[in-house]
Amino acid sequence: MGGVVTIDQKQFIKTARQATGGNDVIAVVKNNAYNHGLQFTVESFLEAGIKAFATTSMDEALTIRELSEEAMVFLMNPVQEIEVAREKDIHITLPSLQYYYDNKDRLSGVKVHLEYAGLFNRSGFENAEDIKEVIRDVYFSDQEPGIDIQGIWTHFGYADEIKMDHYELERSLWMDVLAEVSSTGHNFKYIHAQNSASYARDGLFTGHTHLRLGIALYGSRPYSLLSADDYVQSLSLKAPIIQIRRLTKGQKCGYGGVYEAKDDVHIAIVDIGYGDGILRKRADFDCMIGTRRFPIKALMMSHMIVEVDDIVEVGDEVVLYSNGMRIDEYTNLGVGANSEQLGALNYNSLKKVILNDDRVCR
């Protein structure tokens, strides 16, 4: 049957609700909602009380709009499909003075969020003066205001880097910019800066209307010092054992004899591999069979070799991820970022099961 990803929808919703801490949240659902499935995720987050969504692609923004007429949909990438944004009521980022002047006429009636680059510096205005120039041009010049400036935002590049001290600097640069821009008297409906790590560190900043959370909503800790109890993981990944083989000491198996038995052993051949999106580094660590952990010895495209004992049988399920084998645990062990492990999962070959009320509903 191969690998199966199971998401417990009730827990998924519960985890998301808990992650918001009762604050207004813009849920980051880019890349097919961190590979959980956009429709499933948006519907679940709406049920968790979340009313605003952010993504990086216009296609995803339009899908969200179809799923909810009322939701605030924010496109974080600079776009040229400005007319579509206006028609479908998609909020877009305003990333620079150049973009503003190049597109000023086309932006009439479009809802925008001014972006401050800060230390992350992937996109955005470099200083408060340029942001103020746009506000003055839109609201304090002779012309009728064309653009609808609804928001202001930034993204932190160091909030997750708990061992580096740059976060304090980028946070204070942002606060200074915000204070200076606020001196124009313009009222923003949306002021948002914080991802999961920044929120875990500081709570919602004063004067900010929304958090902009990703990974915490999906049940992973942004950094390992946090308690796992506050971020219950609703996703699990398992695959069945399709063969048990006995090897005598010195016998090899796999491509190029990658595995050599150090003793007389039993090995389990499991129906999952890197072709299903298991990161190679993940195979440096254990898997779980029943309640016991066993070492993975080799990872191939469609198969995995696990050293087991004589109790383990064909058909037993081998767990690679669960709330007891958390994605963030492996992030901490160096397997890859939470989003990297999630994003790699290959739903063309894995079966996906959504559990709801103990029933399989999708």
Which residues are at the interface with ligand PLP (CB under 6 A)?
Answer: 28, 76, 155, 195-197, 212-216, 222
d(CA 263, CA 306): 14
Structure tokens that stand for 94 in this block? 């305003």
Between 63 and 195, CB nearer to ligand PLP: 195
What is the nearest approach in angstroms of ligand PLP to the Cβ of residue 52?
12
d(CA 196, CA 220): 9
Among 230, 288, 307, smallest CA distance to 18 is for 230
Structure tokens that stand for 98 in this block? 């150049």
The amino acid at residue 311 is: I
Between 133 and 329, CB nearer to ligand PLP: 329
**124 contacts 95 by C-beta, under 8 angstroms:** yes
Between 3 and 219, CB nearer to ligand PLP: 219
d(CA 82, CA 39): 24
What is the nearest approach in angstroms of ligand PLP to the Cβ of residue 95?
12
**319 contacts 292 by C-beta, under 8 angstroms:** no
**213 contacts 192 by C-beta, under 8 angstroms:** no
What is the nearest approach in angstroms of ligand PLP to the Cβ of residue 185?
27
**17 contacts 48 by C-beta, under 8 angstroms:** yes
What is the nearest approach in angstroms of ligand PLP to the Cβ of residue 298?
32
- Residues annotated as catalytic are 30, 255
Between 63 and 154, CB nearer to ligand PLP: 154
